[in-house]
Structure 1
Amino acid sequence: MLALSDAQIGAWVASFVLPLFRVAALLMTLPLFGATMVSSRIRLYMALAITVVITPALPPMPQIDAISLRAGLLCAEQIIIGALMGLAIHMLFQTFVVAGQVVAIQMGMAFASMIDPANGVNVATVSQFFNMLVTLLFLSMNGHLVVFEVLVESFTTLPVGGGVLTGQFWDLANRLTWVLAAAILLVLPAITALLVVNIALGVMTRAAPQLNIFSVGMPVTIVLGMVILWINMADILNHYQALATEALQWLRQLVRAR
């Protein structure tokens, strides 16, 4: 009969379950993988598969009692770390979503909304287009592989039991401001051009009060807005590279990786 001690059971639980919580929390908050259109069962299977693959390369885990308060605190710590890592990448995607929302309001397309299958909320069609664009760029440039590489490295730079990222919460608030600033800079040329168009329509209305601005101005603003947005898309790849590089660098700083 196979006899197992409490120390052996605790070591097995710690070596697999604790990394599993960090990996699962990352997948739950990571864009695309954590979307509502991806089944929770599939995300769980992916977390189990990734944990099985990376477990042999991880440093030794602390010895814990499988049923104890310390084990629960360590699991909560891993959930917080994984969720913060996923949120760091989620901010990159939300930068483009906010940029699409801002330019949609300026060009009069804010009323044209659709259900976002990833988040289950109504968003402007321009925002959804930007979201799909950044998703394809992120996957085509192997951004998800970089995230998984940082995840594996985080178990060395931020070991289990080393404490949660208390010093990074203030930086997280600053990153929320970075999202809004980066979104505005992304579509600043389009916003400026649409502002000139709106000023011109206002001057026309002032010069000819009998002109119906709603029947003339809205179609003109939408058509010119689509043209301006198309011109602005010519430099979208350079903007994405700069924002993605900054987001991934912050992800490494978050877990104190090289």
Structure 2
Amino acid sequence: MITFTESQIMGWLGQFLWPFVRALSMLAVAPVLGHDSIPSRLKVALAAALAFALAPILPANMPSPSTAAALPALVQQIAVGTMLGLAARLAFAAIEMAGDLIGLQMGLSFATFIDPQNSTPSPLIGSFLGVVAMLTFLSFDGHLALVAALAESFRSVPPGASIAQFADAKVFVRWGSELFRLGLHISLPVVAAMLAANMALAILVRAAPQLNIFSVGFPATLLIGLAVLMASLPALMPLIEAALRSGLLVGVSR
């Protein structure tokens, strides 16, 4: 008769529990994989599949779920997984911020609909660039790079180890400033075109005071903004891809 000791059972449970919690925490906030349209049961099943796949590469001397070290290890897995997903999600936030700024300059700040990614009202142009970012993310296998970053995190921060270096706040502060810069670069062509259009409309109103600026200005800025956005989108794609890739690199380098 085959018998198993309690320590063996707890060891096997830890081999599955720690990667499962870390993977589920990452999926809860990660872009694409953590989309609200994906059922929660499917996310749990995906986290379980990742845990089984990652179990063989985990170190043997991990905290047992039955010891006092289990609670700090559990908090560690949640923190590391959340930071992995958040690093990639922030890149999407920067791109959507650029879209919101473009929509504001075009006069489309009132045109909103429910964003399925965040379940909140979102400006039209911001949601459009968010979809573009999502498709770009999938085109260079960003979802697979997230899984690779998750696997690499167990080598750099195994369960029970200190996360002080991993959770360096300065890295995320620098990453946030870099995202703000990228967002401004993405929105710059349309914002510059809108500035020129508004200046032209102001000169036109001064030259012809009888002109109804409200009936002419809004359609003009809308058409000019859409034309510039469509014309500049091919040139903006490298910036969007660079933002998404840098978000993944932040997660891997942690």
For the aligned pair, the TM-score class normalised by the smaller chain equals over 0.9
Instruction: Name the aligned partner's letter for residue 216 of structure 1.
Output: V
Q: What is the percentage of aligned positions where both structures have the same residue?
A: 30
Letter in 1 for 2:72: L
Residue-pair matches, total: 253
Match runs of 1:181-220 below 5 Å: 181-220=181-220
Question: Which position in structure 1 is the counterpart of 2:55?
Answer: 55
User: Shift of residue 3 of structure 1?
Assistant: 4.5
Secondary structure class of the residue paired with 1:114: strand
Please tell me whether the aligned partners of residues 137 and 241 of structure 2 are also in contact (alpha carbons under 8 angstroms): no
Provide the residue aligned with 2:93 in structure 1: 94
Q: TM-score, normalised by structure 1?
A: 0.92
RMSD: 1.7
The alignment status of 1:72 with 2:67, answered yes or no, reads no
SS across alignment from 1:187:
helix
1:181-220, Cα deviation, whole Å (9 max, x unpaired): 2101112121111111011111222232222111110011
Residue equivalent to 1:157: 156
- Please state how far the C-alpha of 1:34 moved relative to its aligned partner: 1.3
Paired residues for 1:34-183 under 5 Å: 34-64=34-64, 66-165=65-164, 167-183=167-183
Q: For the Cα contact (< 8 Å) 1:35–1:118, is it kept in 2?
A: yes
Give the Å deviation of 1:139: 0.8
1:174 offset after TM fit, Å? 2.9
Query: Once superposed, which parts of structure 1, at least 4 consecutive aligned residues long, lie more than 4 Å away?
Result: none
Structure 1 CA distance for aligned equivalents of residues 156 and 163 of structure 2: 12
For the residues of structure 1 that align with 2:61 and 2:144, how far apart are their CA atoms? 24
Structure 1 residues 210 and 69: alpha-carbon distance in aligned structure 2, compared to 1, 3 A threshold: farther
Q: 2:245, 2:36 → 1: CA distance?
A: 26
Conservation of the 8 A alpha-carbon contact between 1:187 and 1:232: no
How far apart in 2 are the matches of 1:61 and 1:14? 10
Give the direction of change, closer, same or farther, for the CA distance of 1:142–1:61 in structure 2 (3 Å limit): farther
Taking the aligned partners of 2:10 and 2:70, their CA distance within structure 1 comes to 9
Q: 1:37 offset after TM fit, Å?
A: 1.7
Tell whether the 8 Å contact from 2:193 to 2:224 is kept in structure 1 after alignment.
Answer: no
Q: Which runs of 5+ in 1 are unaligned?
A: none
User: For the Cα contact (< 8 Å) 1:7–1:63, is it kept in 2?
Assistant: no
Please tell me whether residue 224 in structure 1 is matched to residue 245 in structure 2: no
Tell me the distance in 2 between the aligned counterparts of 1:171 and 1:153. Answer: 18
1:162 is paired with a residue of what secondary structure?
Answer: coil
- The answer to whether the 8 Å contact 2:23/2:81 transfers is yes
Residue of structure 1 equivalent to 2:253: 253
What is the CA distance between 1:164 and its match in structure 2? 2.1
Kept after mapping to 2: 8 A contact 1:193/1:228:
yes
1:8-23 aligned within 5 A: 8-23=8-23
Q: CA deviation at 1:61?
A: 4.2
Does the residue aligned with 2:113 lie in a helix, a strand or coil?
strand
Q: Do the aligned residues in 2 keep the contact of 1:61 with 1:160 (CA within 8 Å)? A: no
Q: In 1, distance between residues paired with 2:117 and 2:63?
A: 39
> Matches of 1:124 and 1:41 in 2, distance apart?
30
